[in-house]
Amino acid sequence: MKIGYYPGCAITRGSSSEEYGMSVMKVSQVVGPVIEEIPDWNCCGASSAHATNHKLSTALSVRNLSLAEKYEYKEILAPCPMCSQRLIISQKDVQDDEALRKEVEDAIEMPCGSSVKVSNYLEIIKNYCMDEIAQKIKKSAKGLKVACYYGCLLVRPPKVLKFDDPEDPQSMDEIVKAIGAQPVDWEFKTNCCGGGFTLSRTDVVVKLTNDILEGAVEAGADAIAVACPMCHANLDMRQKKIEKEYKRKFNIPIVYISELIGLSLGLGSIGLGLDKHFVDTKSVVNAYS
């Protein structure tokens, strides 16, 4: 079975979060499933589209679903939760609203892709890779305490995404456990990091991420695992600024769950993109022995 791959703008090669895409690819080469990039995909429009133009947002997202169907993918992987959330919501919106569906079909000049299943990265790992990972695990990081940070977009709105408990999700924690690290119980799993305000209202991002970093450190975490390029950018790239603003030191590595899986499979840290982070990830890399 082949799964369509929708990287989205943020994690594609040459983008700000390309290490997420790199590590997702590397991991899939070892434990599957086969993922193939959907030809000529376009940006889902992200926050900027849904915040200002519902029809545009829906059309941009649905075009990708229609392409996926055209190339006969039954399921697609969108590792960026902004993308997966937009794709799923748009799919539901055109299903529920006949008038909107017609308008969107007129705009994208294709029938709406209504049957393709959109999965986030955690779902793909949990549904297809857990046995493979168990068999192929080479290294474990016993004692590495990881705070799993899900953010908003993986779990909300719960009734549409139908993924995990929106208040206390467990999927990433279970993966972390499976690869021999230790998830910590903490209170900020699904708090908002400020998401798309990183450029426009950096002050808001700095405040919210400070709370999250503090929560993780207080819970005794050595690293924070994420599955979202925006969460990553805000916690990693902005960490220096947060430290300066609040006059404190966190120095806590922010790693993608795919990078952690890669490390446990014995993959090289450079290939996984662990050198591309702002906060040094050596402590995490060294924990895998």
Partner 1 sequence: MGKKIGVFVCHCGTNISATVDVEKVAEEAKKKYPGVSYATTYKYMCSDPGQKLLREKIEEEGLTGVVVAACSPKMHERTFRNAAVKTGLNPYQVEVSNIREQCSWVHHDKALGTEKSIDLVRMMTEKARKDRSLDSIKVPVTKRALVIGGGIAGIQAALDIADGGIEVILVEKDASIGGHMAQLSETFPTLDCSQCILTPRMVEVAQHENIKLYTWSEIESVGGYIGNFDVKIRKKARSVDLDLCTGCSSCWQVCPSKKIKSDFEMNLGNRTAIYIPFPQAIPSKPVIDREHCLLFRDARKKGIPPAESKVCRKCYDVCPIAPVKAIDYSHEDEIVEEKVGAIVVATGYQELKNNLYGEYGKGKYADVITGLQFERLASASGPTEGLIKRPSDGKEPEIVVFIQCVGSRDPAKGCSYCSKTCCMYTAKHTMLYKHKVHHGHAFVFYIDIRCGGKNYEEFSLRAIEEEGATYLRGRVSRIYKKGDKLIVLGADTLTGSQVEIEADMVVLASAMKAQDDAEDVARKLSIQYDKDRFFSELHPKLRPVESSNAGIFLAGACQGPKDIPETVAQASGAASKVQALLSSDELEREPVVARVDRLPPPLFSTCIGCFYCQRVCPYGAIEQEDIKARDGSVIKTVARVNVGLCQGCGLCAATCRSKSVELEGFNDEQVFAEINSVEFN
Partner 2 sequence: MKIKINLSERSSDFAKEVEKRSGIKVKECYQCGKCTAGCPVAYEMDYMPNQIIRLVQIGARREALTSRTIWLCASCITCSTRCPKEVKIAELMDVLREMALEENLANPLEKNITAFHESFLNSVKKHGRISEVWMLNEYKMKRPKTALQDLVVAPQMIGKGKLSFLPHNIKGKDAISRIFKKCKPK
Using the rule CB under 8 A, is 182 a contact of partner 2? Answer: no
Residue 165 interacting partner from partner 2, partner 1, none (CB closer than 5 to 8 Å by kind):
partner 1
CB of residue 255 to partner 2, shortest distance in Å: 15
Q: Strand runs (DSSP E) across the chain, as ranges?
A: 2-5, 34-37, 75-77, 117-119, 145-148, 182-183, 223-226, 254-256
Using the rule CB under 8 A, is 208 a contact of partner 2? Answer: yes
CB 11 within 8 A of CB 20: yes
**One residue of 37, 165, 275, 280 binding partner 1 per CB under 8 A:** 165
**One residue of 36, 131, 168, 275 binding partner 1 per CB under 8 A:** 168
Q: Write the burial class of residue 166 (CB in 10 Å: 0-12 exposed, 13-18 middle, 19+ buried).
A: middle
Using the rule CB under 8 A, is 200 a contact of partner 2? Answer: yes
Residue 218 interacting partner from partner 2, partner 1, none (CB closer than 5 to 8 Å by kind):
partner 1
**How many residues sit in the footprint of partner 2 (CB under 8 A)?**
58
List all residues 6 or more positions away from 24 whose beta carbon is below 8 Å from its beta carbon. Answer: 11, 35, 77, 79, 121, 258
Using the rule CB under 8 A, is 157 a contact of partner 1? Answer: no
CB 4 within 8 A of CB 36: yes
Taking residues 57 to 86 in sequence order and writing x for each that binds partner 2 by CB under 8 A, - otherwise, the string is --xx--x-----------------------
Q: Which residues pair with 3 in a beta bridge?
A: 35
List all residues 6 or more positions away from 3 whose beta carbon is below 8 Å from its beta carbon. Answer: 33, 34, 35, 36, 73, 75, 76, 77, 119, 124
Rule CB under 8 A: which residues touch partner 2?
9-10, 12-18, 40-43, 45-56, 59-60, 63, 97, 103, 106-109, 152, 156-158, 166, 190-192, 194-197, 199-202, 204, 208, 237, 240-241, 275-276, 278
